[in-house]
Amino acid sequence: MDIKQIEMVLTPRQPHFVGDGFRVHNFIPGGYGLTMQRMDPFIMLDYASKYHFPPTGKPKGVGVHPHRGFETVTIAYKGSVAHHDSAGGGGEIKEGDVQWMTAASGVLHKEYHAESFCETGGDFQMVQLWVNLPAKDKMSTPKYQAIQNSEIPKVNVENGVVEIIAGSQFDKKGAASTFTPVNLFNVKLQKEGLAQLNFPAHYNTALIVIEGEIIVNGEEEVPLDHFLLFKNEGTEFTIKASENSVVLVLSGEPINEPIAPHGPFVMNTREEIMQAFEDYENGKFGILED
Ligand code: MN
């Protein structure tokens, strides 16, 4: 077995609020050296650890904002998010579901706690991940993949299950279509459960403990809400659950193109960023009411 070596285990940073509804710990491209280049094609990861929101009549969230040049992936663990966009799309991301939005040439959207969640209040826990697009696809047509939990292929492992949101493993293909090779799994294990996963050495690979506590490669304890980064050495690793656990695993092939980020736009050159601002100001991202 060619073991994928561990580079570091990171404690979550101090949370901050995105809008008034998303209390997140930023891991990528945070202050831990997890730059967009290091984590390519994963260019942003905000983790909303479990947090209780009381009932409210006024949904909390993030108002209208644009995106261009990448995909936003929202994984709902607790609570429910409603979204609307300038292409007339909208829907609700419920517990266990995933929304894979290809912003590509540009969308305006807004993200709020769903009304049903606001009525009762409750625990809220999510991941939002930005996946970069290769240059040739950055200006392609925006699209959504609204993936319900029932549509996500599941593979049984020892005392657990692996949900393949995107990519492939155990001869199964994930629910989401991607532009470049991207693996995104939820590993759900009961206490003492064990999963063994395998990705190419050069893929940038990491995991987050969403529930419980795990031991990776039989040696490294990773507590709740912590992030583990693998070195680009070796291919296989094991996750063993010390208690009932949920682990988000991400592994992607680097795109290896220049990255020019600016706020909600991630392009390849400075000129393309200027163009994005110009297009945004000229209303080319469409119209969406607050
Ligand atoms: Mn957004």
Measured CA to CA, the distance from residue 99 to residue 80 in angstroms comes to 11
280, two tokens: 């945004």
Q: State the chain's maximal CA–CA distance in angstroms.
A: 56
CA of 44 to the centre of ligand 1 (A): 11
CA of 111 to the centre of ligand 1 (A): 7
Least Cα distance to 28 among 12, 7, 45, 10 occurs for 45
Measured CA to CA, the distance from residue 52 to residue 165 in angstroms comes to 26
CA of 128 to the centre of ligand 1 (A): 9
For residue 286, being part of any structural domain is answered with: no
Per-residue pLDDT 10s for the chain (290 aa) are 799 999 999 999 999 999 999 999 999 997 789 999 999 999 999 999 999 999 999 999 999 999 999 999 999 999 999 999 988 878 999 999 999 999 999 999 999 999 999 999 999 999 999 999 999 999 999 999 999 999 999 999 999 999 999 999 999 999 999 999 999 999 999 999 999 999 999 999 999 999 999 999 999 999 999 999 999 999 999 999 999 999 999 999 999 999 999 999 999 999 999 999 999 999 999 888 87
First vs last C-alpha separation in the chain: 54
Domain extent, residue 79, equals 6-252
For residue 203, being part of any structural domain is answered with: yes
CATH number at residue 30: 2.60.120.10
Measured CA to CA, the distance from residue 157 to residue 185 in angstroms comes to 13
Least Cα distance to 69 among 127, 129, 18, 134 occurs for 134
Q: Are 73 and 100 in contact (CB under 8 A)?
A: yes
CA of 73 to the centre of ligand 1 (A): 9
Assign residue 83 a region (left: φ > 0; alpha: ψ between -120 and 50; beta: otherwise). Answer: beta
CA of 109 to the centre of ligand 1 (A): 6
254, two tokens: 């680097």
CA of 74 to the centre of ligand 1 (A): 9
Measured CA to CA, the distance from residue 110 to residue 176 in angstroms comes to 22
For residue 261, being part of any structural domain is answered with: no
Q: Are 176 and 100 in contact (CB under 8 A)?
A: yes
pLDDT at residue number 216? 98
For residue 288, being part of any structural domain is answered with: no
CA of 262 to the centre of ligand 1 (A): 14
Assign residue 252 a region (left: φ > 0; alpha: ψ between -120 and 50; beta: otherwise). Answer: beta
Identity of the amino acid at 156: N
Q: Are 238 and 222 in contact (CB under 8 A)?
A: no
Least Cα distance to 105 among 68, 71, 73, 131 occurs for 68
pLDDT at residue number 290? 78
For residue 106, being part of any structural domain is answered with: yes
For residue 48, being part of any structural domain is answered with: yes
For residue 276, being part of any structural domain is answered with: no
The number of folded domains in the chain is 1
pLDDT at residue number 288? 86
CA of 65 to the centre of ligand 1 (A): 6
For residue 265, being part of any structural domain is answered with: no
CA of 285 to the centre of ligand 1 (A): 13
CA of 196 to the centre of ligand 1 (A): 33
CA angle 40, 42, 44 (to 5 degrees): 125
Q: Are 109 and 142 in contact (CB under 8 A)?
A: no
Q: Are 12 and 227 in contact (CB under 8 A)?
A: yes
pLDDT at residue number 84? 92
Residue 250's Cβ-count burial label (10 Å; 0-12, 13-18, 19+) is buried
